[in-house]
Structure 1
Amino acid sequence: MPTKIHESPVGWILNEIQDAIFNGTIPPVWSKKIEINASPEYHNFVKEYQGYTKEADLTIIPMLGPNWDQEALFPSVVLETGWAGSAEKLAEDVTLWQVGSGGQELASG
């Protein structure tokens, strides 16, 4: 079960984004073009990572298409937090996200 210290970066990022929208640093239309999800699971990895499942702590996913109504297959930003994880495990996770996504942000069908 996630602890408060584990979840604190997610809360901080969400608060910063809300403040930036409120203060006009980020235009309000941004909320229609970006999806922010806490702890989504991804099962659609490719190449040697096909069949893997990964749950990020937070993802920032672009919305695509002429009406901004199609979620990209993969996030543009992934936040992973860890208290007891090793640097090697973090590097493995980075490779999974980068290589396993095939560099895609393409919308599904």
Structure 2
Amino acid sequence: MIDDFGLVISSFQSQYGIRISKELHTMKWDEFKDLLSGIGPETPLGRIVSIRAEDDSDILEHFSPEQKRIRTEWRTRKAKAMSKENMDDFLESMKQALIYAAGGEQG
């Protein structure tokens, strides 16, 4: 959320008319969370989130270069953030799947 805070600010302004940079110091956390979870798809944050989350190959095929860049940067950042333990678990499961697919026994 820190990396996207500029999008959060502009989305609050466009959707709610709230200047979050001024009101954040007095806004309660629960109110902030409720407003953030209600951000619509036509806000700056909503558009970026929909680009990042898109997995439909037909839609991806028609993405602009800028949309592809946004999605690639997000996926790269997520991959780098994967913990060593999660990566080890993922690699082990892939190894076992390949062994099974080759007709071997899983261990």
Q: Same fold (TM over 0.5)?
A: no
Higher strand share: 1
State the TM-score, normalized to the length of structure 1: 0.25
State the TM-score, normalized to the length of structure 2: 0.25
| Structure label with greater radius of gyration | 2
- The structure, 1 or 2, with the larger RCO (C-alpha pairs under 8 Å, 6+ apart) is 1
